[in-house]
Chain A
């Protein structure tokens, strides 16, 4: 083959690739690259949507980090959720996954029942939990009180609102359950048999056979859990809105994070600054913090599990 035809062929294949990628290339440029650059630009601007944007240097950055009263509470809440909610979710997901592999009667029924809550639309599920956990009249506290147990304030108590959200997150464990179930079924049977022959206790079997085999999946669950926590928006927002009782909001300024800022998360701050205070510049600062955190964990995911990409390279 002559170099000419080779080059032509190469060009054709490049064109072909570009053609196939074109929807995404446009989407990437218009809905990712451009707005990202624009977000950086606005973060240095004073802009309220009425008057044209004015350069304001690092004023927005100083404001968000030093003076915006909701920033640090939101970050602290995120940390709480990452440490406690993500951990519990992974542990519970693994537990339910294990349980489902052990259940031998009506497995399909159990699996479906365990999985269903994951499908409940977040707004509906949160409203349902706000009702179930209503401290005054909800069924959960009714039962707790009948059995003489303490009845917490749940979504109406700053100390209990995040645990209540965690409960909601554990209820929707279906995704992790299925992932862990598949991973557990992939663990080679021979390894268990060998361990049993060695007289290993069930705990030892779990610790020395199961865990090493599924550790990449645990890692995956943890990192994606952290990334999801960065995006945690609908559930805490709705829970706070419903529990505060000022859902109507006409006339009253909606107060994010009820009770006492305990359900604030970073995405809510973007909304509060951008669409309630209309300080677009400061909203972009929070957006960039959110971006940096998400990307840091995404990088971790890609590095720890080069698998994400290499899986297809096999």
Chain B
């Protein structure tokens, strides 16, 4: 397919009619595919563009039908930050995302390692249970869990009911890590054992350094999960605005700013931006992670 690219560029001796049709066909294919690509790119990017443009409109223009801002109101972003609570939501989200991710990674690694490298009875059963947990909608167990956290432990109105469980392994992370760890040849593990390393040291010194991409992928997924989570904060934190996260607060932002779509869209941009920035820094690990869930599965 590489010749497709070169075709229109290289002038050659007068081509035969057959060659010419082949060239024309290849050229048409190149044009066709790239037009499709551009059309698709527009579909994927225009929503971002419109959101961004609206975020810079004046209040009076935001409900009109014009697409381009008449005046560029960068001040909207400052106004978003001035919204009572917005900075708190940021802080809470970062807290939830970072602490949750750290706890998930730390607690999931040993489990994933055991499931990938240890031979024991019930291993397949355990793995099946992990997958079942992974596929379980959080709403299934929410009633008893809510009563447990709110009534027994008086932790509603905070993010702890969401963070604490992450210290006990997250099914998706365990599964993903286990998939990754199985790709590390047993010989490395055995060699470490021969050198006299115990299980913990083998895991720390030999396996973990090799599993770094897998861990990075897990950490990213978990970070995004916490960042995006709406149901969790809605159940546990809704009653205390001091514990809201960005994803939860954004919706109420619409309420506080009424139909000021410009401000709502500016807030939307501010919620999207960090995720996209993280992606640019960790693109490779992320794409690998996605592939791991599907292909290696």
Contact = CB atoms under 8 A, between A and B. Distances in A.
- Asked if A and B touch directly (CB within 8 angstroms), the answer is yes
Interface of A: 13-14, 16-17, 19-24, 26-28, 30-32, 34-36, 38-39, 42, 49, 96, 99-100, 102-105, 110, 112-117, 119-125, 127-129, 131-132, 137, 139, 142, 171, 174-175, 178-179, 182-183, 186, 217, 220-221, 227, 230-231, 233-234, 237-238, 241-242, 247-249, 266-267, 270-271, 274-275, 280, 283-284, 287-288, 290-291, 294-295, 297-298, 301-302, 305, 307-309, 311-312, 314
Contact of B135 (A28, A115, A294): A294
Given A17-B118, A21-B126, A23-B108, A121 B227 contact: yes
Interface string B276-297: 1001000100010011011111
From DSSP, what is the main secondary structure of chain B's interface residues? helix
Nearest to A298: B135
B47 A312 contact: no
B191 interface: no
Contacts of B296: 311
B113 interface: yes
A104 B178 CA distance: 35
Q: Which 4 A-B pairs have the closest CB atoms?
A: A27-B168, A312-B182, A179-B294, A35-B141
B11 interface: no
B140 A290 contact: yes
Of A186, A280, A288, chain B has the most CB atoms within 10 Å of the CB of A280
B77 interface: no
Residue with the highest number of chain A CB atoms closer than 10 Å, among B127, B145, B235: B145
Contacts of B143: 35, 38-39, 42, 270, 274, 280, 283-284, 287
A36 B251 CA distance: 30
Contacts of B76: none
A242 B290 contact: no
Contacts of B234: 271
B28 interface: no
Given A99-B33, A105-B34, A312-B179, A221 B294 contact: yes
Contacts of A28: 129, 133
Contacts of B190: none
B167 to A, nearest CB: 7
B295 A36 contact: no
B31 to A, nearest CB: 11
A27 B165 contact: yes
Contact of A298 (B110, B118, B131, B138): B131
A294 B140 contact: yes
Contacts of A290: 137, 139-140
Interface string B9-32: 000000000000000000000100
21 contacts: A20-B111, A24-B107, A24-B108, A24-B111, A28-B133, A32-B133, A38-B144, A112-B283, A116-B45, A119-B224, A121-B247, A123-B251, A131-B50, A171-B44, A179-B293, A238-B251, A241-B251, A267-B231, A270-B139, A291-B140, A311-B297
Contact of B268 (A119, A127, A182): A127
Interface in B130-184: 130-133, 135-148, 165, 167-169, 174, 178-179, 182
Given A24-B169, A307-B297, A39 B126 contact: no
A174 B287 CA distance: 10
A35 B148 contact: yes
A41 to B, nearest CB: 8
Contacts of B204: none
B64 interface: yes
A130 to B, nearest CB: 9
A30 to B, nearest CB: 7
Interface in B83-142: 107-108, 110-111, 113-116, 118, 120, 124, 126-133, 135-142
A23 B144 contact: no
B44 A114 contact: yes
